[in-house]
Amino acid sequence: MNIRLYNARILTMEKNRDVFRGEIWIKNDKIVCIPEIEELKQDWNKRDVPRISWDIELDCKDNLLMPGFKDAHTHSGMTFLRSFADDLPLQEWLQHRIFPMESKLGGDDIYYLTKLAILEYLTSGITGIFDMYLKPDQTAEACLDTGMRCVLVSGLNNFTSSPQQMEEEYLKWNQKNSLISYQLGFHAEYTCSKELLYKVAELAHKYRAPVYTHLAETAKEVEECKARSGMTPLVYLDSLGIFEFGGGGFHCVHMTEQDMNTMRMRRMYAITNPASNMKLASGIAPIAQFEKRKIPVAVGTDGPASNNCLDMFREMFLVSGLSKLKENDAASLDAMRVLRMATVHGAKAMRLHRADVLAKGKYADIIMIDLHQPNMQPVHNIPKNLVYSGSKSNVLMTMIGGKILYRNGEFNIGDDPENIYRKCGQIVKRMMTG
């Protein structure tokens, strides 16, 4: 498929490049050219331009094209728990609501529950997810069937999965499939024995691979780890050799100076989940402090049981707003830096090096943002409009790997949304009565 997106404003998210007017040319799943309007006015015959016969030519009507958002921490399959266990503190929420319900998951439940999440990602312009959940195979199948780009990460713990299973999944899902990849990981320090963590470290060394985990989400978690080990979770995990090849921490709310030094040294990513941390009263992550220490920050929604929605516009506003509150400084974390976190840093944290910016040779993971809506007017400053007044209602189109999966409110994912709603409703009903 050859697609031409024309009459557009373009924000490639390449460093120091402003919004410009031009076109994006796509061949199969990749971008082949992003000509600026000035170039197009010149005589293209004399230049080395790909001769393409277009399958689709789409007039963008002066709206914005930009890289899709990367949701760098989520649990897609948890859609069944949305609005089921709100207004509870994290440990109670986890032990008394989430775990008992999860034990009832069976059959192809996670496949359909993930599809429900995928519908929502697409409405919010999310083109890549970093997904940790039970039964990664079902998550992968849902992503393959719909066209969602997904990096799986193991949620290994004392009760679920095993180092062997993680290794098998790692090898299976890192085969050459452009949509799915897999990273080593585990649920959290407090759900894994030392023996298990040593095995994770072994795998990290064997494959020279980064490792990802929930990290310092609550003060309680940090205190308990210190009581057990004399160390903060990050320092303890690092002492076992887990982060020798980098990786990242999800949440990173309660961090010490030593933690941040370790992250910097290990070139780890801090993956922040501000809505979830607010809703569970976990705290505000020190994003401005990470930035000051050059620790790259990516952004995730966390799962729909704790957030409760999968909306990167909400997260972006919160990353900036909560940082301003925490630092008591309205100048903290301006819009462009937050946009970079939600796109470029997210892709890098997930090792999606071909999905970070819009450029020749990169994946065509592109969204179109409607500037002709009242919340995007007047057009003083597009990045600020996106972060401070943007909304998923501005997402006109979501394209992943050159396929238009969502446009003007309609989905093109090989399944009917009403069918997915019905299936998920049935799953919930069965669980409630079972």
- Check residue 324 for interaction with a second copy (CB under 8 A): yes
- Check residue 191 for interaction with a second copy (CB under 8 A): no
- Check residue 428 for interaction with a second copy (CB under 8 A): yes
CA–CA–CA angle 230, 210, 319 (5° rounding): 80
Size of the site for a second copy (CB under 8 A): 68
- Check residue 367 for interaction with a second copy (CB under 8 A): no
> Strands 269-272, 247-251: parallel, antiparallel or unpaired by DSSP?
parallel
What's the CA gap between 293 and 313, in Å, rounded? 25
Q: Is the Cβ–Cβ distance between 357 and 350 less than 8 Å?
A: no
- Check residue 200 for interaction with a second copy (CB under 8 A): no
Closer CB to a second copy, 36 or 92, in the complex: 92
Q: Which stretch binds a second copy (CB under 8 A): 36-44, 47-55, 64-72, 382-390?
A: 382-390
Q: Is the Cβ–Cβ distance between 265 and 295 less than 8 Å?
A: no
DSSP structural state of residue 363: B
- Check residue 60 for interaction with a second copy (CB under 8 A): no
Q: Which stretch binds a second copy (CB under 8 A): 42-50, 193-201, 204-212, 421-429?
A: 421-429
Task: Please provide the distance, in angstroms rounded to a whole number, between the alpha carbons at the two ends of the chain.
Answer: 47
Near a second copy by CB under 8 A: residue from 257, 331, 361, 434: 331
| Cα dihedral 410, 416, 422, 427 sign | negative
DSSP structural state of residue 191: G
Q: What is the closest distance, in whole angstroms, from the C-beta atom of residue 401 to a second copy in the complex?
A: 21
Distances (CA, A) of 186 to 26, 213, 271: 37, 5, 15
Q: What is the closest distance, in whole angstroms, from the C-beta atom of residue 338 to a second copy in the complex?
A: 11
Near a second copy by CB under 8 A: residue from 310, 366, 369, 397: 310
- Check residue 131 for interaction with a second copy (CB under 8 A): no
Near a second copy by CB under 8 A: residue from 80, 111, 212, 290: 80
- Check residue 161 for interaction with a second copy (CB under 8 A): no
**In the structure encoding, which two tokens stand for residue 307, read together?**
């957030």
Virtual CA dihedral for 83, 87, 91, 95, nearest 10 degrees? -40
Closer CB to a second copy, 48 or 418, in the complex: 418
Q: Is the Cβ–Cβ distance between 315 and 299 less than 8 Å?
A: yes
- Check residue 330 for interaction with a second copy (CB under 8 A): yes
Q: Is the Cβ–Cβ distance between 145 and 415 less than 8 Å?
A: yes
Q: What is the closest distance, in whole angstroms, from the C-beta atom of residue 3 to a second copy in the complex?
A: 25
- Check residue 391 for interaction with a second copy (CB under 8 A): yes
User: Which uninterrupted H or E stretch holds 201?
Assistant: helix 194-207
For residue 38, the tally of other CB atoms under 10 A from its CB is 10
Q: Is the Cβ–Cβ distance between 310 and 267 less than 8 Å?
A: no
What's the CA gap between 238 and 264, in Å, rounded? 12
Q: What are the phi and psi torsion angles at 340 (to 5°)?
A: -60, -40
- Check residue 83 for interaction with a second copy (CB under 8 A): yes
- Check residue 329 for interaction with a second copy (CB under 8 A): yes
Near a second copy by CB under 8 A: residue from 39, 145, 334, 415: 334
- Check residue 433 for interaction with a second copy (CB under 8 A): no
For residue 17, the tally of other CB atoms under 10 A from its CB is 13
Q: Which stretch binds a second copy (CB under 8 A): 99-107, 135-143, 159-167, 276-284?
A: 276-284
Q: Is the Cβ–Cβ distance between 142 and 74 less than 8 Å?
A: no
Closer CB to a second copy, 241 or 283, in the complex: 283
Closer CB to a second copy, 208 or 330, in the complex: 330
Sites of contact with a second copy (CB under 8 A): 79-80, 82-84, 86-90, 93, 116-117, 119-120, 123, 275, 278-281, 283-284, 304, 307-311, 314, 317, 320-322, 324-325, 327-332, 334-335, 372-375, 377-381, 384-385, 388-393, 417-418, 420-421, 424-425, 428
